[in-house]
Structure 1
């Protein structure tokens, strides 16, 4: 079971007190793997004090790079689809425009 996605803007949450963490150091192991050294920033009644390491792995490509590195090969993610099987509209498309274009796409 996957946990809900949260946006932390560079911060995660402490596994012990659920307080905010700060990335102290990043160690690049390879072009697709990094270790982030974290410090808990909770300053409640009792400071948590937890420190740990999180692994960050780049797994797949969502949008191709304009300057691809020939040494890096990542799988291309499948396009997102609605339950109906139609593509999810892009950020600049409205749902009405996407549905109007759908019959043409299915005819191809």
Structure 2
């Protein structure tokens, strides 16, 4: 991918640094439909999908915390880690939202 970015930099006559080009490419890719299709991993896919949902900000906050901590694997671990900061019902609702995410967002795309 670096060689492609180098080509883009050359076309743009080095007007923009590589990190800015990459950041903007990720914004474009994250806006593809269906949501999550351009994600690099499951956490990013869930983040993209939940950020596009119309849900309470508290749920988005909890989801972002769950996704940012790598050692939370079970409901009990998540609840024990987050219960000092959030209500159990809010944690449960955030987990339900995560469960609703499509982990194969491109699966149902039809070939032309």
Q: Same fold (TM over 0.5)?
A: no
> RCO higher in 1 or 2 (8 Å CA, sep ≥ 6)?
2
Q: Which of the two has greater strand per residue?
A: 1
Q: Which of the two has greater helix per residue?
A: 2
Q: TM-score category by the smaller chain?
A: under 0.3
